[in-house]
Each structure stands twice: as C-alpha cells, then as structure tokens.
A and B are shown apart, each in its own frame.
Chain A
Amino acid sequence: MKRSRLPFVVTIGVLIFFYLPIMVLVVNSFNASTYGGHWGGFSLRWYLKLMGQRDILLALENTIIIAISATLASCILGTTAAFALHYYKSALQRCHFILIYTPLVVPEILMGMSLLLAFVAVGVRLGLFTIFLAHVTFCVSYVAMVVLARLQDFDMAVIEAAQDLGANWWVTTWRVLAPMLAPGIASGALLALTLSVDDFVISFFVAGPGSTTLPIRIYSMIKFGSPAVLNALSTILLAVTFILVWASQRLTTNKEKAT
C-alpha cells in the first residue's frame, strides 16, 4: 500500500513558512547591499556598524543586566515555590499552584498593563527596576514549573535519609537537594533568561526613560533605523536564543537518561 505524501508535504510547507523569513533575515545580515532586494556580496559591514551604535549597545547592556538579575531572582523564588508546592499538600497550596500557574496563560498585554498601573499607583519611578520586577513576575512561574516537574520524580525520603545520616538542614540543602535539583534549576534559569531577553510587550509598558531594552530599541529602529543593521542585530539575538534553548533542552534530557 502506498502511503500518502500529504503529511510530508504539509510538514515541509509549514517548516518553510516558519523558517524562510528567518533564513532571509540571516542571509541579508551578511549582504553588502543596503536593501535586501539583491545580493551585493558577502560582508560584515552591518555587524561593524552595529558595534558603532551607542544606543544599541546601551540597550543591550540594559537587557543583559535585567536578564541576569531577573533570572537569579526568579530562580531562587521559583525553586523555593516549587519546593513548597511539592512538599506541603493543602488547600492553600492548591491555591498557590493556581497563582503560580496563571502568569503562564494570562495575555502578556494584560500583565504589562496591570503592572504599569500598579507601579504608577504605588509611585515607583519607571526604569530598569520596574522592568526587573515585571520580568521576575513571569519568570518565577516558568522556573517553578520546570523545577516542580523535576521534584515530582524524586523520592522525598532522601531528605529524611540525609538527616538520618547526621546532616543538618544546611548540609541537606547543599549536599543533597541542590545537586539533585541543579539540572531542573539550570534549565528553568535558561528558559527565564531567554524569556527575559526576548520580552517586548511587558517591557514596553513598564520601561521608563533611559531604560530601553534591546527588543524595544529594535522596534523603534524598524521605524527610523537602517533595516540592514537590524538584520545583523536580529541574527545575533537569534543565535544567542538558539544556544540557550539548546542548552536548556540538553540539561533536561541528559538528566532523564541518568535516572
């Protein structure tokens, strides 16, 4: 019996639709000609030009500061939240779970708007700090979910076993819990990092003067800047994102093979 070729054709079609624009963008970032219409030869001039633009570098710096600090904060908060969710079972914890889960499904624009209103109401000056807070609010949920999934397939009796063997709370945490949870925390951290670097909608709402992040800068450059420089910038972002996602995937699957 001959198998239908349709699923194959559809799959290829969908993948082309997804990746062709990205391919065009990447290729164009190495195109010497200013507009992407024709191939003007291989060149790194857009990358060099990118390095010369102070406002882009400043936005990149902001993005990195926020991404790293928000990731660290959400790793600590997310891991402890996951631990509480797993260890204590009560009606209150079920409520806790829903609250942690909600930011994953709430539309970003709603999150951005509500955060902006909250900051204005409290009277916090908009800037890097408010972006940091906003990023932590959604990154915590992702870290918590990833770590929780890890926790679910390990035997909590190991904590008691460590205590039984003389370990106090501190030793148990660092010698048993931390190494066992490390792959989960790391993959949660990479996810948080990616999301933070990427985020536009929420950042757009809560950013203030002087705290422009890279995605916001890119957006304004589409209107006023040179598209070719943008291509180069996007390619770099794409590469970084790809590496982070790949690393995160590797951490998760490696651990599964071991257990």
Chain B
Amino acid sequence: MAEFLEIENVSKSFGSLCAVDKISLSIHRGEFFSLLGPSGCGKTTLLRMLAGFERPDSGRILLAGQDITSHPPNKRKVNTIFQSYALFPHLTVRQNIAFGLQVQKLPKAEIDAQVDKMLALVQLEAEADKKPALISGGQKQRVAVARALIMKPQVLLLDEPLAALDLKLRQKMLLELDIIHDEVGITFVYVTHDQGEAMSLSDRIAVMNRGKTEQVGTPTEIYEAPRSSFVAAFIGDTNFFEGEARELVDKEYSRLKIEGFPDLVCFNDKNISAGNPVYLSIRPEKFGIGRAKPSLGGKHNIVPGRVEDVIYLGGMTKYWVRVDEYKIAINQQHNRFYLDEEPIRWNDDVWIWWHADDGFMLERYSEADENLMSLPPESLGEGAEP
C-alpha cells in the first residue's frame, strides 16, 4: 500500500537554478516530519509544491493515494502556516480563523461553534475581537495555527513558523506545537533550518542539501548514524578522518588505517572491502580522554595525543587534541577524572579512546562540509598559551 503522502521524483528549477532535484519521500499518516537544511537547500520550494503554490517541473505528489500534483492550493486538503503568519490585517482574530469556513459557505452557527473550539484550543478567547496588529508574535502564530487547523487539513505545512520569534517564545511555541500535534493527530510537515527544532519535534527528518535529500531518518538515526559528511557536520559537531579499510577482524568490524594513528578497529556495516578509502565521523562526546592509558579491551581504540586547547563551558569541557595532523574535538562532562585528580590542561600528553561502534563510516564525503562545523579556537590569539 502506498504511503499517506508520497513525493515521487519531484524536481523544480528556477531559471538555471535547480531548487529541488528528483526528491522522493514517503510520509506516514499522523507523522511529524521535518525538512531540515541550510537556506537555499530547496526545503521551502518543496513545501510550496506540497501546498500548491509551485508546480513541479516533473514528478508526482500523491496524498492518500490521489495525485494532487496539478491541483491548485484552494483545491487541496493541505494547509500552510506561513513564516510571516500572513494573517489578514483587516480582519479580527475570530474573522481570520473563520475565513476558510466562510469561503466554504458553511452556516453561520456552525462556523461560530468551530471557531470557538479553535479559540479554546489555542487559548485566544480573550483576543478574539482584536485585529492582528494588536496581539503579540506568539499570539499571531497561534492564530495562524488555528486558522489552518479549522480547515481539518490532511496535512499541515509549517514554513519556519518559529523563525520570527525570540528565543524564549520559540521554546514555548515549540512545546505548544508538539502538544497541538499530539492533540489533533494531523500529519505535520515542518520546514526549518534549526536542527534543535527538528530534533526535538520530529518523528522523522529529511536532511536536505542543494535540492537533494541527504538522509531520511529518525532524529537518533540522523545523529548517531549519519550517512554523509554533510549530515554529520550539519547536525551537531563531529570529527572527520580519512583512512583506508584493511582486513575484516570480525563479522562486521574491519581494521582501519589512518595516517599517523596506530591500527584501529571500526564498525563496518557498509561492507567496505580491504584497500578502499574510508571516511569516518566520530562525534566529540563519544571520546574518552585521560592521562593514564585505560585498560580497555577488544573493540576500543586507544590513541596517544597532546592537548592543544581546553574550553571550559560549565556543563561540559571541550578539548582539542592533536594526533598527528588531526586536531580532534572532544567533549567531556567532567573536567576532573575519578582516577586522576588533576584537571587536564594545555600541552598535557593524554590518551584518547573510543569504541569501534562510535566511529561511523560515511557513504559520501565532501571537504566543503567541514566548514559547517565549529572550528578549533585558533582565533583566540597568541595570548591563549599558558
């Protein structure tokens, strides 16, 4: 059986710019699905095609088995929450929410009853007769939500709905959106460039870059098992390593050679055979660090290095450790270790270690993606040396 919302090989170009390049996605009924990517990645164009504001150059969009590719926006059971909210300034909150039902020419009594229900859902009863200019940003956003939900859409599209709000309000609305999604059970397609929003709200995320989907998966899959260097670097921080696969040591583990490192062991679910290049991503918090060499067996990699920078951030400490030509970012919650009373300082010789499962082999690697990460604090200047 086909999925609830099916995007099949959809492409869209503006002039010579290919905004969306043969994207295919399947979205389940009732799912909170995010399109996450940097600005210009095509996520908004894809959303506008779902809404009907743009027509795909090729490909199909199916909603509940029906091809809606060429349906105009007013003929789709899909509603949008716009980044600017796009409330009607000449209408009151109540009239804004009622607009869609009035267009359908429902009886007045029924419209009033439904609008009252919506006003209660978004807790705006007190503002019902105000014009949009007189209510706050968070309230405007709730009017936009109510105005869309009253249409009982099969899919609700949200175009960076929190981008215009300040941080505090954003966190509050994030929670509210989550609650509303749970209450109404409608499929949400949420466009954002903010990984925090996407990670905390979504059932699944499609990470987009340059008009293509890089990876589709749950927040955990996206973070823990990134397929490409773009996903690894865009969501959270990471360290990249370039090496060469050697022989298998176990069913799913390979020996790995990285220039300047001793022989390593690495999880190899991609079945990369000996002699082939490997790009590895290891998240900073997956490393252990200490002065004494730990006695860990089997699947652990233990490597000596030298601390080049330490940044104490309160909740965690960030170390930059030099191993040959690599400058490795390591995050630790403790800056004091149980076996080692002295905190680690600049220029200390240390051991770093990680489990073979925590290094993740990438299917695609592009050097440009390294620019997406936070860089070593070289910019702190000469005074940084102790």
Which residues of A line the B interface, CB within 8 A? Answer: 154-155, 157-158, 160-168, 171, 175-176, 179-180, 258-259
Among residues of A, the one whose C-beta sits closest to the C-beta of B102 is A175
The stretch that binds A, out of B73-81, B199-207, B291-299, B372-380, is: B73-81
Contact A259 B133 (CB under 8 A): yes
Contact B86 A157 (CB under 8 A): yes
Contact A258 B133 (CB under 8 A): yes
Sample (30) of A-B pairs whose CB atoms are under 8 Å apart: A154-B89, A157-B83, A158-B89, A160-B73, A160-B86, A161-B80, A161-B82, A161-B88, A163-B53, A163-B72, A163-B73, A163-B74, A164-B74, A164-B78, A164-B79, A164-B148, A165-B74, A165-B79, A165-B103, A165-B147, A166-B100, A166-B104, A167-B74, A171-B103, A175-B99, A176-B88, A180-B89, A180-B90, A259-B89, A259-B133
Interface mask (B39-63 → A, CB under 8 Å = 1, otherwise 0) = 0000000000001110000000000
A180 contacts across to B, CB distance below 8 A: 88-90
Q: Pick the contact of A155: B80, B84, B99 (CB < 8 A).
A: B84
Contact B86 A155 (CB under 8 A): yes
Q: Does B131 contact A (CB under 8 A)?
A: yes
Among residues of A, the one whose C-beta sits closest to the C-beta of B157 is A164
Contact B99 A162 (CB under 8 A): yes
Q: Does B87 contact A (CB under 8 A)?
A: yes
- How big is the B interface, by class? 20 to 34
A179 contacts across to B, CB distance below 8 A: 90
Q: How many whole Å from B129's CB to the nearest CB in chain A?
A: 14
Contact A158 B87 (CB under 8 A): yes
B173 contacts across to A, CB distance below 8 A: none
Interface of A is mostly: helix
Q: Pick the contact of A166: B82, B86, B90, B151 (CB < 8 A).
A: B151
Q: How many whole Å from A90's CB to the nearest CB in chain B?
A: 12
Among residues of B, the one whose C-beta sits closest to the C-beta of A257 is B133
**Contacts A161-B88, A179-B90: A167 and B82 contacting too (C-beta < 8 A)?**
no
B104 contacts across to A, CB distance below 8 A: 166
Q: Pick the contact of B73: A154, A155, A164, A259 (CB < 8 A).
A: A164
Contact B133 A164 (CB under 8 A): no
A166 contacts across to B, CB distance below 8 A: 74, 100, 103-104, 151
B151 contacts across to A, CB distance below 8 A: 165-166
**Contacts A154-B89, A160-B86, A171-B103: A258 and B131 contacting too (C-beta < 8 A)?**
yes
Q: How many whole Å from B113's CB to the nearest CB in chain A?
A: 18
Contact A167 B103 (CB under 8 A): yes
Q: How many whole Å from B248's CB to the nearest CB in chain A?
A: 55
Among residues of B, the one whose C-beta sits closest to the C-beta of A156 is B86
Among residues of B, the one whose C-beta sits closest to the C-beta of A181 is B90
Among residues of A, the one whose C-beta sits closest to the C-beta of B90 is A179
